[in-house]
Each structure stands twice: as structure tokens, then as C-alpha cells.
Amino acid sequence: MEKVVIVTGANSGIGLALCERLLTEDTQLRLCLACRNMQRAEAARSALLTSHAGAHVDLLQLDVGSVESVLDAAKVVKSRYNRIDFLYLNAGIMPNPQVDIRAFFKGLFSRNVINMFATAEGLLTQQDHLNSDGLQEVFATNLFGHFVLIRELEPLLCQTGHTSRVVWTSSSNARRSAFSMDDIQHRKGTEPYSSSKYASDMLSVALNRRMNGQGLFSSVVCPGLVMTNLTYGILPSSFWTLIMPIMWLIRIFTNTFTLTPYNGAEALHWLFLQKPESLDPRAKYHSLTSGLGTNYTEPRQMDIDGETADVLFSKLLELEKGVRRKLCERNADNEAHQRYLNEIE
């Protein structure tokens, strides 16, 4: 039986590299590229079919930063597939990154250089904005939209006698100090990316606590330091030209500098080959590359309390109700929205 795999943010970077690796691993795969920009998605599909002639690659328009887009995409998925084997939640944004240049150059020639590049701690902030749903954009895209997608696809993910996998692309920048349960959208802070990634780690733990018994297993991956469009957007191109030779040199001494999307997708691909029952529900699986260029995966325990993760899950449920209620009011003639409103009242 062919596996059904959906990858969000699949048109470039780690997402596209993962798709390439999955098709190389399993030629019978039914792969769905879930992307916001359909022109780029078409280009990605063409590239994949060029190297994997005859592969089954579908496209799905999905902007995880818009709840309405998530609901529309979920409707298409439920009409197209009768189950989902893997749901890779890879899409993410880091808008308007601001780098403390002074701290950057100070750290560049210090003992802390590896940790600085790996976590961006004390170096990187972002300017966030509200989206059309009235939510913080980074929170909505990196976490909440994916949460709603999982909720909508539960009938395909949780089926008797079938196991399914949800895999989150997290980050080494996911830090507990950046997250507040009193401000889960990070409205008051300056590190929304770090906050959203730590929240996705927590949500993965909560999903395992709640849904392993229904056949759904969630895992978290850190791709390491990868040069993608998101990374290149942090600094001007002239800076990258200057420091890339230094980064390749540092890579000899650290395994977290995966650098290429192919290497960064190592743990995502590795999880595809594992039985869910053998995985640690509280581990983050890191893509690592040795100084000699060998890729491997290593689990590391996350600093997350299960009960606290459950609190976040409950808060997201309440927020979902509020957002869906607003959508119902905005689309009063939409039967699906009205049916949901009647269910939660």
C-alpha cells in the first residue's frame, strides 16, 4: 500500500530536500506538496518529476498563516485521500529579522561563536505583525495554522489499526526563555520565532500525551544550521560572502553546522524509516553532520514539562474556537462554518 505524505513549505529549502530524499527512498510514495505560492510549487514538482519520472506528486494550496486557507486545504485533503501516513509540518517564517551587528562581530571571534551561530541567542530579534485573523503572524504561521490543520485532519490521521506520524521542523533557536504561557502569541516580546518554535516542541509533547492511543505519534526535528532562503534573509548578501568560509571552517569542529538543505533534512528522512513505537516522545531529533561530511541523527531530551504542554494545548483549543467563531460571523452563508459554530456553542 502506498504511503501518503504531506509536506508543508515544500517548494524550497529543507522541505524540497526532504521530498527529494523521500522519493529516492520510496518510489511508490504519494507525495503532496502543500505550499502558499503555487507557481513555486509547480516548479518544485517539475524538478522532482525530472529526477523521479513517474512519481506521484500532488500539489495543495495552503497558507498556514491563514485559518481560512487551512480549512479550505483540509477540505481538499479529505476529499483526495482516505488516510495520511506522514504529515511533515515544515512551513515557517522569520519576518523582518534584526541582527545586533556589534554582538555578531564580538561573538564571531570569541569562544561562543559556535553557540552563537547555532542558536542566535542574544543576536537575533524580529518585528512581528498581526495577520488577517488578528493573530501574530509568526505564531499563526509557525504554530497555530499547523495546529488547526492537525485538528481538521484527525479523521485521516487517527484511524483504527493505522498509525500516522506528525513531524515538526523545529530549531535550535527554540528556547524556553523566549516563551511565556501568559503570552503564547509573543505579542509583547521581540523573539517570536524562538517562542513559536519552543511552543511547537511543547505541542508535540502534548499531542503524544493525548493521541498516541489513537495511533497518532508526533516528533520534533532540529535541522541544524542550514543555509536556506530564511537564513540568507537574516543578513545582507555581502555579510554571507564574508563569513561563509569561516562557517565551513567551523563545521570541521562542530556537528550542528549541517549547512545544506539535504543535510538538514537528515533527521526528517531518518524518522520516515523508524517505527513510531521506538521513538522517544520527549526527544528532539537533531540532524548532524560530522567534520568529514557524514550525516546522522541524534535524539536529545527537550526541556518540557508534560502538564505545561497540556496547558498550551488547552489554550490553543480556546483560541481556535474564538478564531473560528469570527470566521463564522464573517462567512454567515458558509454551512461548514455554521455547523462548527453550532457544535461549539
In the residue annotation, 193 being an active-site residue is answered as yes
Measured CA to CA, the distance from residue 158 to residue 215 in angstroms comes to: 6
Measured CA to CA, the distance from residue 65 to residue 20 in angstroms comes to: 25
From the candidates 81, 88, 193, 198, give the one annotated as an active-site residue. Answer: 193
Measured CA to CA, the distance from residue 175 to residue 99 in angstroms comes to: 18
| Cα radius of gyration rounded to whole Å, the chain | 20
Measured CA to CA, the distance from residue 331 to residue 54 in angstroms comes to: 41
159-163: long-range contacts, CB 8 A cutoff, minimum separation 24? 159/83, 159/215, 160/215, 161/215, 162/83, 162/215, 163/215, 163/216, 163/217, 163/276
Report the alpha-carbon angle 286-175-227, nearest 5.
50
Which residue bears the cell 498516541? 212
Measured CA to CA, the distance from residue 178 to residue 192 in angstroms comes to: 8
List the grid coordinates of 104. 555578531
Measured CA to CA in angstroms, residue 34 lies from 198, 225, 254 at distances of 23, 24, 33
Measured CA to CA, the distance from residue 293 to residue 93 in angstroms comes to: 28
Angle between helix 38-51 and helix 13-25 axes, rounded to 10 deg: 30
Question: Known catalytic residues?
Answer: 193
